[in-house]
Amino acid sequence: MAVHNDLGTWGEKIAVAYLESCGYRILNTNWRCARAEVDVIADQEGTIIFVEVKTRSSVDYGHPEDFVSYKKEKQLEFASSAYIEMKQHKGEIRFDIVAIVFENKDIYQINHIKDAFWPS
């Protein structure tokens, strides 16, 4: 597996632990619907949160959250619609980004952006 994939996998594990420490209940990780994937699906007081995790080893080329493209937002919208229908969820939903920047393997910064975007 490529180094950047290892970094992404490690970042997702850190994001899950972080969200749990904030009181979120993790419902799914790496949930797929057709070609779309949601990194983390969580629940917080009845609100389903679809979380995109972005991990980088530096900010030399921009912050991780800057790399959530319009195309990715559309994929998340598609997947979230399928998930909501499957679960018959009638409550609130939200789209968050958890951005992680590593200084080294054990030192990193987390930026949790709630309501990062809303699909059109």
Residue 23 lies in a domain: yes
* Residue 41 lies inside a defined structural domain of this protein: yes
**Is residue 105 situated within a structural domain?**
yes
Helix (H) or strand (E) holding 107: none
pLDDT of residue 7: 86
Q: Is residue 120 part of a domain?
A: no
Q: Which domain holds residue 57?
A: 3-113
Token pair 């054990």 is found at 106
The number of distinct structural domains making up the chain is 1
Each residue's pLDDT expressed in tens, for the chain with a length of 120 residues: 455 568 889 999 999 999 999 999 999 999 999 889 999 999 999 999 999 999 999 999 999 999 999 999 999 999 999 999 999 999 999 999 999 999 887 899 999 999 999 877
Residue 118 lies in a domain: no
Q: What is the pLDDT of residue 3?
A: 56
Collapsing DSSP to helix, strand or coil, 44 comes out as strand
Amino acid at 37: E
